[in-house]
Amino acid sequence: MILTDLPTAIQRSDFASDFLWGVSTSAYQIEGAAAEDGRVPSIWDTFSATPGKVRDGSSGAVACDHYHRWEEDLDLAQAMGLNSYRFSIAWPRIFNGVDAEPNAKGLAFYSKLVDAMLARGLQPWCTLYHWDLPQYLEDRGGWANRATIDAFLHYADVVSKHLGERVRHWITHNEPWCTAMHGNWDGMHAPGNKSLPLALQVCHNVLVSHGLAVPLIRANVPGAKVGIALSLHPVKAASDGAADRQAVLRHDALRNRWFLDALYGRGYPELALQLVGRDAPQVLPGDMEAIAATMDFLGVNYYFPEVVRDAPEQYPLRTSIVYPQDRQRTDFGWEVSPQGLVELLERVARDYPAGDLYVTENGSSYDDHLDADGAVNDTARRDYLVRHLAAVRDAIAAGANIKGYFAWSLLDNFEWAEGYLRRFGLTYIDYPTQRRILKQSGRWYSAFLQAE
Ligand code: FCB
């Protein structure tokens, strides 16, 4: 299928025949069934129940009811012509206490989910941690307590042994920046702390838990491919002035290089360490080596570039994010910049020995409406998708080794602190009835994937 009504004609045959075409989802955002089959509360249940934390006062208690409707959802993914599917495991379904035995019902749910993916020709991509820490672990210090690293490794061990014969692709953590910084610095996400040193310690411990999980998963799963999914942003200067250009370097040092440098064996960037000073995390001997465990791929989650200016009053980076008026934006206010994706992928491929790259999330939120005729005409989201796929194609042409693309997301879902106010799905969820309606964007993706 060649699109002529968009600036960028694009077709599936522009990509390698073994390119992975997927969608991404996460457990807390879609599953619901919060108290079923032995699941215990996660930090997101607690956070959502705290007044003022989630904008519409909602929670993931029901969400898309995927826990009961998973067959329909996987049917939809199959019908779209996808060949891969990224999901996450809810840790609180697997362990209900510190010394607990694994919960057989929790394991059984993911086992049948994975079987159903395989039966539909969807390659399972399993994320172990997509932000839903069991509350009982938070109660003893959460990720800032190194005991949580051990708990994570035990959880990773049990799950990878259980699913490993069928799941070859493993993502340890989704977006450690968000876990650490939104969770503990700006407090926008669960558990809602507001302390930079705490956030940096969480960040470090999460990265250590990642690094230690890599060999463990490989030992359990012959032929496993293990990586991490980072939320990365190209960083742009608000002006051509020297001060703003310096601000870019400082912002990038913590926002992107903190993760990339550490994961690829270069330690935390000197510039970032200087800026955070005494708030730097405690690093034990062997930690940096652990974090730098060789990965099989890097997952890049891309949404928008960040534009920064010099802001001497802002501790610790002395930068401030700005939102120039002249940019195209989604209804969420996020800048639409396919060029940012090209630049980001080229940068990662150029600056780091990352090997295979996957876009593990990319998508847009618009205020969709169900039309009287039952359709959802999300033309803006379709265009976003087309233009970002063209960006992936261009980055490949420029030499970046990109092997797959996972759109965020299959379904509208619980968008964290925004609740149900933001819709990212290729499929519309009519929440009162839980009816699934493939949007124009989803129909486009499907036609693109199934065109001759
Ligand atoms: C990412 C998250 C994902 C979703 C999208 C919109 O940061 O990984 O769960 O919320 O943003």
**Contact criterion met (CB below 8 Å) for 213 and 153:** yes
**Over the stretch 25-57, which tens digit does the pLDDT of each residue have?**
999 999 999 999 999 999 999 999 999 999 999
CA 416–ligand 1 middle distance (angstroms): 8
pLDDT band at residue 150 using 50, 70 and 90 as cut-offs:
very high
Under 8 Å between Cβ of 30 and 417: no
Q: State the residue range of the domain holding 98.
A: 6-450
Residue length, the chain?
A: 452
Within a domain: residue 92? yes
Closest Cα to atom 5, ligand 1: which residue?
A: 408
State the closest ligand 1 atom to the C-alpha of 229, by its place in the atom list counted from 1. 8
Report the catalytic residues.
175, 361
Best residue among 175, 259, 304, 359 to mutate for probing ligand 1's pocket (most ligand atoms within 8 Å of CB) is 175
Q: Tell me the pLDDT band of 439, cut-offs 50, 70 and 90.
A: very high
Mutate to test the pocket of ligand 1, among 408, 412, 413, 421 (most ligand atoms within 8 A of CB): 408
How far is C-alpha 311 from the geometric centre of its chain's CA atoms? 29
Percent of the chain with pLDDT over 90: 98
CA proximity to 170, closest of 127, 107, 212, 230 = 127
Tell me the per-residue pLDDT of 91-128, one tens digit each, with 9 for 90 and over.
Answer: 999 999 999 999 999 999 999 999 999 999 999 999 99
Q: Of all atoms in ligand 1, which is nearest to the CA of residue 178?
A: 7
Average of per-residue pLDDT across 366-393:
97
Residue 1 inside a domain? The answer is: no
* pLDDT, tens only, 251-307: 999 999 999 999 999 999 999 999 999 999 999 999 999 999 999 999 999 999 999
Expressed in angstroms and rounded, the spacing between residue 199 Cα and the centre of ligand 1 is: 19
Number of neighbours of residue 137 by Cβ within 10 angstroms: 23
The torsion angle over the Cα atoms of residues 199, 171, 366 and 68, rounded to 10 degrees, is -110
Residue 201 in any domain: the answer is yes
Is residue 48 one of the residues assigned to a domain? yes
Is residue 440 pLDDT above 90, yes or no? yes
Sequence letter at residue 429: I
Domain of residue 17, CATH code: 3.20.20.80
HSE at residue 55, side-chain half, CA atoms within 13 A, is: 10
Q: Which atom of ligand 1 is nearest to the CA of 231?
A: 7
How much distance in Å is there from the Cα of 358 to the middle of ligand 1?
A: 16
How many structural domains is the chain composed of?
A: 1
177 belongs to a structural domain: yes
List all residues 6 or more positions away from 3 whose beta carbon is below 8 Å from its beta carbon.
Answer: 9, 10, 386
- Please give all residues whose beta carbon lies within 6 A of any atom in ligand 1, as ranges: 26, 29, 174-175, 178, 231, 301, 361, 408, 415-416, 424
In the chain, pLDDT over 70 holds for what percent of residues? 98
pLDDT of residue 400: 97
The pair of structure tokens assigned to 374 is 């039952």
**pTM higher than 0.95, yes or no?**
yes
The answer to whether residue 23 is domain-embedded is yes
204-238 per-position pLDDT tens digit: 999 999 999 999 999 999 999 999 999 999 999 99
> pLDDT band for position 9 (50/70/90)?
confident
Closest CA to 76 of 415, 440, 411: 411
Q: For residues 199 and 9, what is the distance between their CA atoms, to the nearest angstrom?
A: 44
| pLDDT given for residue 1 in this prediction | 43
Distance 271 CA to ligand 1 centre (A): 28
pLDDT(452) > 80: no
- Ligand 1 centroid–CA 300 distance in Å is 12
**Minimal CA–CA distance to 329: which of 379, 360, 365, 369?**
365
Whose Cα sits closest to atom 10 in ligand 1? 415
Is the residue at 348 inside a domain? yes
pLDDT at 4 over 60: no
- The overall average pLDDT reported for the chain is 97
Is 169's pLDDT higher than 50? yes
Residue tagged 């503990």 (tokens) = 184
For residue 174, the ligand 1 atom closest to its alpha carbon is 8
Coil vs helix vs strand at 94: helix
pLDDT digits 0-9 by tens, 330-366 = 999 999 999 999 999 999 999 999 999 999 999 999 9
Report if residue 204 sits inside a domain. yes
To 5 degrees, how large is the angle CA 159–CA 434–CA 406? 50
Residue to probe by mutation, ligand 1, list 301, 360, 388, 406, most atoms within 8 Å of CB? 301
Mean pLDDT, range 374-391, rounded to an integer:
97
Q: How far is the CA of 101 from the centre of ligand 1 (A)?
A: 30
- Per-residue pLDDT band for 248 (boundaries 50, 70, 90) equals very high
d(CA 441, CA 395) in angstroms, rounded, equals 22
